[in-house]
Chains A and B, each alone.
Chain A
Amino acid sequence: MPPTCISVPVRGGGTAVVAPIIERMPHVLLIEDDASVRDGMELVLRRHGYGVDTAATGEQALALLDGPGGGRVELAVLDLMLPGMDGFEVCRRIRARTTALPVIMLTARGDDHDIVTGLEAGADDYVVKPVTAPVLEARIRAALRRAEPSGQAPGASGQTPGAPADLAGLVIDRAGLTVTKHGVPVALPPTELRLLLELSASPCRVFSREQLLESVWDHSFLGDSRLVDAAVGRLRAKLEDVPAKPRYVQTVRGFGYRFGPL
């Protein structure tokens, strides 16, 4: 996958010295109760040039986001198993504050219920513990790319950006990355916005879950198709008049999803 921001692993040039920051490096909030895991992640991310804030509890994390330094946080890595307020609740509260902050859940593999609940709470992606540094970093990069305002909108190549398309009351501005429905702005978190852009770029074309995982989530293979299902569910809740009978994002059973026909 082509890197869109500089995060080259450092080789040479003395001991663990971080490469000179050419571009402003993203700032990540780690919410994890286990000190060793937290320190390990902080160490790895700092080595790769990320700015890192850490919180041991959900309450701390929310206080940090509301504090003066909260504005610089561009992504949250959230452990679901937290003392006090659990990860799901933290995720919901983050979503209530801002739609723009991508959230990656840290979860135990096989805890399917947790994964589904976490995705429903608004998480953009999840990684399974124990996770290796390259995997975590790749996921963080992909999530950040989705959230980048200047990032290339998926499927925009065939379209002329800047000409907002009106699709039965739904206006998608690909240049400004805004969505309005009947004139009312719809606030969409990055993943849902990218998904909508991808689908609406080719109305009536059926996308398989695998295709969407690859194009929207940057998961090359064996991504969890529930990521797509959960994101579609969240998107419908915000766009559709009757989420159970969707007009915009329709299911094609056995194949995947498509936008329209309207």
Chain B
Amino acid sequence: MNRTDGGRHGTTVNRTGKGGHAAAVKRRTRRLVGGLRIRLVVVFVAVALISAVTATALAYRDARTAVLQRTQNTAVNDLREQVAEVAADFDVPPDQRSLARFAAEVSEGIGARIVVARHQDLVAVSDSLADTESRITAELRAAVRAGDEARFQRVEWRGEPYLVVGMPVTYADGDRRTSGLEVFAITDLRAERDDTAALLDSVRAGIVPVVLLAAVLALLAAGTVLRPVRKLGRATRELAAGDLGSRTAVTGHDELADLARTFNETADALQASDAELREQEAKARRFVADVSHELRTPLAAMTMVATVLEEDADQLPPDAARAARTVGAETARLARLVEDLMEISRFDAKAVRLNAAETDLAETVRASLALRGWTGRVRTRLPEGVRAAVDRRRIDVIVANLVGNALRHGAPPVTVTLRTVRAADGEWVTLEVADHGPGLPPGARERVFDRFYKADESRTRGASDDSGQGSGLGTAIALENARLHGGTIDVAGGSQGGAVFTLRLPLRRTEEGME
């Protein structure tokens, strides 16, 4: 349980950070209190206790009743027989002496129990030292006097239980008249009480192991129920984390097995459709890559000879000259488009490699601008000494694209600013390219990095621009290049209008020193 909780705990923290930690702890606490395991244990123990207590109570009551019944019957019968035997030689009315002898004889016959004999005002007790008055209640005496049957009553005297049996002595002949003689016998019930108490004691001693056993059984039952649930939970989490191959083992034929089977079927279906989608996507991408590749060979020939046409355009008739120049320019554009398509295909196929080396960024940006003849058209703020491990060629692609876009779509002045920024997540280099044009139309910011996305016509300043139109893939490729470095490109509106593109790269330096 702890192990599972630990794993779950970790996952949550990873996914949601600090906020998730408290939530995970709270959830764990709630699960401990309201968990299936605890509930099962509580229910099992409660059932065991109720069963044990009920059974004990019933058994105790029956046993006690039976024991008392037997004791009472025995006591009544014993007394009756003994009285019948002794009373045969007894003369009524008795005197004190004969009454005492009578009580003593009866007592002797029934195992030395205390016997009290009464005749009107005369009272004789077999044990002269015993206190009998408080044990023989007035109620019993009245009942004995009124009836002609043996009566008994259980009384508590000085914390001990006693059975008091009383009976009137009747004449044996004819109408069974009462003789006025009453006999009471006091039987000690302590032995019986101890016997039944022993039953309770043994139940009390037995109930602890029974409850423990119930708890253990509950844990075992919870284990057998919870293990598949836990497995299913783990599989679900793996699936949610993107491992579509995650499955859970199906054992048995119960409801949990059904659930596990359903989960597996769902995961199968998900994996199948995911694979299908991926395959389709891969096919589409491969198609683009193949098409670009196939276009390249004829383009190579066209590109090579297009310069011949352009070189000789001056000697051609005007129409043919225009045609030659158009062929030259469009061939170059087509070549650029195919190159960009192939580049983006390589990113899609993850076939790109970062060829990073420590580089002076100011120098790189300046060289990129100079190479394209943009040095005079761009205001730069490029502090010296900013060195980072980057792929120079890819940085050039990014700079060319961002600055090219600003020159093509924005209005001057275009500014390029290099900075280093220390943030909570490390040191970063930012390169900000800002123009002062109309800025991006609403809704374009989110889409500006989409492939072949062209913002509103107002951002295009016409075909007179020397760099011509981009392939429509430039910003997408720039962003991919930035991501390859572990960076990003953000776009925002400038404070005085215009668009601001900011390249953010982690400031990583290679190890300096000697090999």
* Chain A residue at minimal CB-CB distance from B301: A36
Complex contacts, B368 vs chain A, CB 8 Å: 221
Q: Which residues of A in the span 174-188 have a Cβ within 8 Å of any Cβ on B?
A: none
Instruction: Tell whether, in the assembled complex, residue A252 and residue B308 are in contact, meaning their CB atoms are under 8 Å apart.
Output: no
Complex contacts, B332 vs chain A, CB 8 Å: 132
A24 at the interface (CB under 8 A from B): no
B367 at the interface (CB under 8 A from A): yes
Instruction: Tell whether, in the assembled complex, residue B304 and residue A40 are in contact, meaning their CB atoms are under 8 Å apart.
Output: yes
A16 at the interface (CB under 8 A from B): yes
Instruction: Tell whether, in the assembled complex, residue B511 and residue A134 are in contact, meaning their CB atoms are under 8 Å apart.
Output: no
Selected from A15, A47, A130, the residue in CB contact (under 8 A) with B300 is A130
Q: Using A9-B311, A221-B371 as known contacts, say yes or no to A40 and B301 having CB atoms under 8 A apart.
A: yes
Residues of chain A touching chain B, judged by Cβ–Cβ distance below 8 Å, are 9-11, 15-16, 34, 36-37, 39-41, 43-44, 47, 108-110, 112, 129-134, 136, 209, 220-222, 224-226, 250-255
Instruction: Tell whether, in the assembled complex, residue A130 and residue B396 are in contact, meaning their CB atoms are under 8 Å apart.
Output: no
B253 at the interface (CB under 8 A from A): no
Chain A nearest CB: distance from B512 CB in Å? Answer: 4
Q: Using A221-B371, A222-B392 as known contacts, say yes or no to A253 and B298 having CB atoms under 8 A apart.
A: no
Selected from A15, A37, A134, the residue in CB contact (under 8 A) with B297 is A37
B515 at the interface (CB under 8 A from A): yes
Q: Flag B290-305 by CB within 8 Å of A: 1 or 0 each.
A: 0001001111111111
Q: How far is the CA of A33 from the CA of B370 in the complex (A)?
A: 37
B209 at the interface (CB under 8 A from A): no
Selected from B343, B509, B515, the residue in CB contact (under 8 A) with A252 is B515
Instruction: Tell whether, in the assembled complex, residue B300 and residue A209 are in contact, meaning their CB atoms are under 8 Å apart.
Output: no
Complex contacts, A250 vs chain B, CB 8 Å: 515
B335 at the interface (CB under 8 A from A): yes
Complex contacts, B370 vs chain A, CB 8 Å: 221
Q: Using A34-B297, A253-B510 as known contacts, say yes or no to A225 and B304 having CB atoms under 8 A apart.
A: no
B307 at the interface (CB under 8 A from A): yes
Instruction: Tell whether, in the assembled complex, residue B307 and residue A133 are in contact, meaning their CB atoms are under 8 Å apart.
Output: yes
Complex contacts, B308 vs chain A, CB 8 Å: 16, 43-44, 47, 133
Closest 6 A/B residue pairs (Cβ)? A40-B304, A36-B301, A130-B300, A130-B303, A133-B307, A40-B301
Instruction: Tell whether, in the assembled complex, residue A37 and residue B339 are in contact, meaning their CB atoms are under 8 Å apart.
Output: no
Chain B nearest CB: distance from A59 CB in Å? Answer: 21
Complex contacts, B293 vs chain A, CB 8 Å: 108
Q: How far is the CA of A41 from the CA of B465 in the complex (A)?
A: 30
Instruction: Tell whether, in the assembled complex, residue A252 and residue B392 are in contact, meaning their CB atoms are under 8 Å apart.
Output: no
Instruction: Tell whether, in the assembled complex, residue B312 and residue A44 are in contact, meaning their CB atoms are under 8 Å apart.
Output: no
Q: Flag B381-399 by CB within 8 Å of A: 1 or 0 each.
A: 0000000000011001000
Q: Using A222-B367, A222-B393, A253-B513 as known contacts, say yes or no to A110 and B351 having CB atoms under 8 A apart.
A: yes
Instruction: Tell whether, in the assembled complex, residue B367 and residue A221 are in contact, meaning their CB atoms are under 8 Å apart.
Output: yes
Q: How far is the CA of A220 from the CA of B510 in the complex (A)?
A: 24
B315 at the interface (CB under 8 A from A): yes
Between A and B, 27 residue pairs with Cβ closer than 8 Å are A11-B314, A16-B312, A34-B300, A34-B301, A36-B297, A40-B304, A43-B305, A43-B308, A44-B308, A108-B342, A109-B342, A110-B343, A112-B355, A129-B296, A130-B299, A130-B303, A130-B335, A131-B304, A132-B332, A133-B304, A133-B305, A221-B367, A224-B393, A225-B355, A250-B515, A253-B510, A254-B358
Complex contacts, B335 vs chain A, CB 8 Å: 130
Instruction: Tell whether, in the assembled complex, residue B511 and residue A254 are in contact, meaning their CB atoms are under 8 Å apart.
Output: yes
Q: How far is the CA of A36 from the CA of B301 in the complex (A)?
A: 6
Instruction: Tell whether, in the assembled complex, residue B357 and residue A222 are in contact, meaning their CB atoms are under 8 Å apart.
Output: no
Complex contacts, A43 vs chain B, CB 8 Å: 304-305, 308
B353 at the interface (CB under 8 A from A): yes
Residues of chain B touching chain A, judged by Cβ–Cβ distance below 8 Å, are 293, 296-308, 311-312, 314-315, 332, 335, 338-339, 342-343, 346, 351-353, 355, 357-358, 367-368, 370-371, 392-393, 396, 509-515
Interface of chain B, main secondary structure: helix
Instruction: Tell whether, in the assembled complex, residue A136 and residue B304 are in contact, meaning their CB atoms are under 8 Å apart.
Output: yes
Selected from B303, B371, B513, the residue in CB contact (under 8 A) with A132 is B303
Q: How far is the CA of A110 from the CA of B315 in the complex (A)?
A: 38
Instruction: Tell whether, in the assembled complex, residue A44 and residue B307 are in contact, meaning their CB atoms are under 8 Å apart.
Output: yes
Complex contacts, B396 vs chain A, CB 8 Å: 222
Instruction: Tell whether, in the assembled complex, residue A112 and residue B353 are in contact, meaning their CB atoms are under 8 Å apart.
Output: yes
Interface of chain A, main secondary structure: mixed
Complex contacts, B367 vs chain A, CB 8 Å: 221-222
Instruction: Tell whether, in the assembled complex, residue B515 and residue A15 are in contact, meaning their CB atoms are under 8 Å apart.
Output: no
Complex contacts, A130 vs chain B, CB 8 Å: 296, 299-300, 302-304, 335, 338
Chain A nearest CB: distance from B338 CB in Å? Answer: 8
Complex contacts, A36 vs chain B, CB 8 Å: 297-298, 301
Instruction: Tell whether, in the assembled complex, residue B355 and residue A253 are in contact, meaning their CB atoms are under 8 Å apart.
Output: no
Chain A nearest CB: distance from B382 CB in Å? Answer: 16
* Chain A residue at minimal CB-CB distance from B345: A110
Instruction: Tell whether, in the assembled complex, residue B515 and residue A251 are in contact, meaning their CB atoms are under 8 Å apart.
Output: yes
Selected from B296, B371, B515, the residue in CB contact (under 8 A) with A253 is B515
Complex contacts, A252 vs chain B, CB 8 Å: 514-515
Complex contacts, A15 vs chain B, CB 8 Å: 312, 315
Instruction: Tell whether, in the assembled complex, residue B511 and residue A253 are in contact, meaning their CB atoms are under 8 Å apart.
Output: yes
Complex contacts, B352 vs chain A, CB 8 Å: 110
Complex contacts, A221 vs chain B, CB 8 Å: 367-368, 370-371
Chain A nearest CB: distance from B392 CB in Å? Answer: 7
Complex contacts, A134 vs chain B, CB 8 Å: 307
Instruction: Tell whether, in the assembled complex, residue A37 and residue B513 are in contact, meaning their CB atoms are under 8 Å apart.
Output: no
Interface centre among B311, B355, B370 (most CB of A within 10 A): B311
Complex contacts, A109 vs chain B, CB 8 Å: 339, 342-343
Q: How far is the CA of A202 from the CA of B396 in the complex (A)?
A: 31
Please give 17 more A-B residue pairs, beta carbons under 8 A apart, in addition to A109-B343, A133-B304.
Answer: A10-B311, A15-B315, A37-B304, A40-B302, A129-B297, A131-B300, A133-B305, A221-B367, A225-B355, A225-B357, A250-B515, A252-B514, A253-B511, A253-B513, A253-B514, A254-B357, A254-B510
* Chain B residue at minimal CB-CB distance from A221: B367
Q: How far is the CA of A108 from the CA of B338 in the complex (A)?
A: 12
Chain A nearest CB: distance from B367 CB in Å? Answer: 5
Q: How far is the CA of A34 from the CA of B368 in the complex (A)?
A: 34
Complex contacts, A224 vs chain B, CB 8 Å: 393
Instruction: Tell whether, in the assembled complex, residue B312 and residue A40 are in contact, meaning their CB atoms are under 8 Å apart.
Output: no
Q: How far is the CA of A110 from the CA of B396 in the complex (A)?
A: 15
Instruction: Tell whether, in the assembled complex, residue A37 and residue B393 are in contact, meaning their CB atoms are under 8 Å apart.
Output: no
Complex contacts, A225 vs chain B, CB 8 Å: 355, 357, 392
Chain A nearest CB: distance from B401 CB in Å? Answer: 15
Chain A nearest CB: distance from B320 CB in Å? Answer: 13
Interface centre among A40, A226, A252 (most CB of B within 10 A): A40
Selected from B305, B338, B351, the residue in CB contact (under 8 A) with A44 is B305
